[in-house]
Structure 1
Amino acid sequence: MGFFLDARPGRQWLRERAQGKRVLNLFSYTCSFSVVALQCGAAEVINIDMAKSALATGQRNHALNGLPPERARFLPHDVFRSTRNLEDLGPYDLVISDPPSRQKRSFEADKDCARLLQQLARMLAPGAEILACLNAPYLGAAFLPELFEAHLKSCEYVERLPQREDFPEKDLDCCLKMQAFRPRGA
């Protein structure tokens, strides 16, 4: 997604890393992360979201920002049913994953994040970094690092991106969690 105000630290993280990279933007919604990546010199961005209308808005966002259409793809697919296609389009240097916390019959974070990480393992280029975002108040800050440790052992937790100072939260376990991961030993 990346569209919301509290996602600004994630967009900044991406700005610092996008130059020349192939980016996979999972659950892309209106493609805000894609716009930032391409503005900062990403070689290509693959946007995937089940909602065709959200991707259509994403395409308009790219056009409004004067971004070259040949450097972005918009795939209206279910992440889990498009694994082979995403593998064929990869590998990816940067992955942004910002799934819904609960969306009936498509994604439920507490059940599906582990399966997503298992599939990502086959799509990563050497040295690939991941920004995993999750806005699920019922899942604490340790949820994603523990899943990476169990299901994507090739990556290690780096940091949780800070909350915006102008968007304070009382309970950091209940707000948006943006956590960065990289290959072990990198």
Structure 2
Amino acid sequence: MQASQLPLFFQHLRSELAQAPNEVRRLFHGRGRHFEGLEQITCDWLQGQLIINLFKEVDEVFLSELKQGAIALSESELWSEKQGSTIVIQYRYADGAPSEVLVGELDVRPIVEESGLKYQLDIGRNQNFGLFLDMRYGRDWVRENAKYKNVLNLFAYTCGFSVAAIAGGADKVVNVDMARASLAKGRENHKLNDHNINQVSFLGHDIFKSWGKIKKAGQYDLIVIDPPSFQKGSFALTKDYKKILRRLAELLAPGGQVLACVNSPSVTSEFLIESMKEEAPQLTFRERLDNPPEFMDVDSEAALKVLLFS
């Protein structure tokens, strides 16, 4: 990370902020490696709150100039026009990912919008605040293709896909995630959007020990698989993904679709395509969804991969 590159960071940040809609957005994505010397910094706009994430420890000069630039931004006309209130640096590399508030007061549980839908975030206590912004196009696709469908959402987290599916007219969504606290947040996300909770199920179980319950609620017209890259003691992507794919034949309704996702720089699209051929040969790869342009990456295979099969 190079302090000499920070003027580029703030130039890009101001340009993106100026044209950002009144929605949650990634404004700077250094991890896509398009900005030399800024590979370990990102910046998200949470409709008034600016969250700067550092993924690697930086020297005192870099940190001092970063803070000075952020404070200068808060004193600008642009900041006033966008009704900015808070600027925070989150040290993602440090134990507990602590946050430092530079400007204003941090609202740790803001409600934001994406594509017209509301989501409750949780900032500063965890590495992830409750909505993966690079999956915006995936949620949009589900919303556009969920009408009258029975949807299974595996590794549901805070149920972003579920919210999108119900908003798109799905008949029913079954969310499965072993983190019951995340599912509770998902329930609140549905309530924020005035959804009928009777159409939504929340199964707080280990997927690999719950196939009976999952199958009982099927068959499914659309299955979304969006696992973590690694979860200690419960999920290792390259080993365990195939265990899910081989279950698709008994879960998927005739003519059903599968949206299979992977967000590990070391696992390519080809892994998913070949694994699907091996474990669920009745399904054919149809397309890879684009990622939002703000998540541009010098290597598309290192970025999020969202693949459609049917």
TM-score, with structure 1 as normaliser: 0.95
User: Which residue in the other structure is 1:15 paired with?
Assistant: 143
User: Which residue in the other structure is 1:27 paired with?
Assistant: 155
Identical residues among aligned pairs (%): 45
SS of residue paired to 1:142 = helix
User: Which residue in the other structure is 1:152 paired with?
Assistant: 280
Greater C-alpha radius of gyration: 2
Q: How does 1:78-117 map to 2 (within 5 A)?
A: 78-117=206-245
User: Which residue in the other structure is 1:61 paired with?
Assistant: 189
Q: 8 Å contact 1:3–1:32 — kept in the other structure?
A: yes
Aligned length: 181
Q: CA offsets per residue over residues 42-81 of structure 1, 9 Å max, x none?
A: 0000000000100000011111111001000000011110
Q: Does 1:5 align with 2:144?
A: no
Between 1 and 2, higher relative CO (CA 8 Å, sep ≥ 6) is seen in 1
Q: In the aligned structure 2, how far is the partner of 1:140 from the partner of 1:41? A: 32
Q: 8 Å contact 1:24–1:92 — kept in the other structure?
A: yes
Q: CA offsets per residue over residues 93-143 of structure 1, 9 Å max, x none?
A: 000100001001111111001111111221000011010011011111211
Q: In the aligned structure 2, how far is the partner of 1:44 from the partner of 1:60? A: 17
Q: In the aligned structure 1, how far is the partner of 2:141 from the partner of 2:207? A: 23
- Give the drift of 1:4: 1.4
Uncovered stretches (5+) of structure 1, i.e. residues with no partner: none
Uncovered stretches (5+) of structure 2, i.e. residues with no partner: 1-129
- Give the drift of 1:162: 0.9
* RMSD of aligned alpha carbons: 1.0
Q: Does 1:135 align with 2:263?
A: yes
TM-score, with structure 2 as normaliser: 0.57
User: Which residue in the other structure is 1:164 paired with?
Assistant: 292
Q: 8 Å contact 1:161–1:178 — kept in the other structure?
A: yes
User: Which residue in the other structure is 1:124 paired with?
Assistant: 252
Q: In the aligned structure 2, how far is the partner of 1:15 from the partner of 1:73? A: 18
- Give the drift of 1:15: 1.8
SS of residue paired to 1:121 = helix
- Give the drift of 1:84: 1.0
The residue type paired with residue 110 of structure 1 is T
Q: Does 1:174 align with 2:302?
A: yes
User: Which residue in the other structure is 2:198 paired with?
Assistant: 70
Q: 8 Å contact 1:3–1:33 — kept in the other structure?
A: no
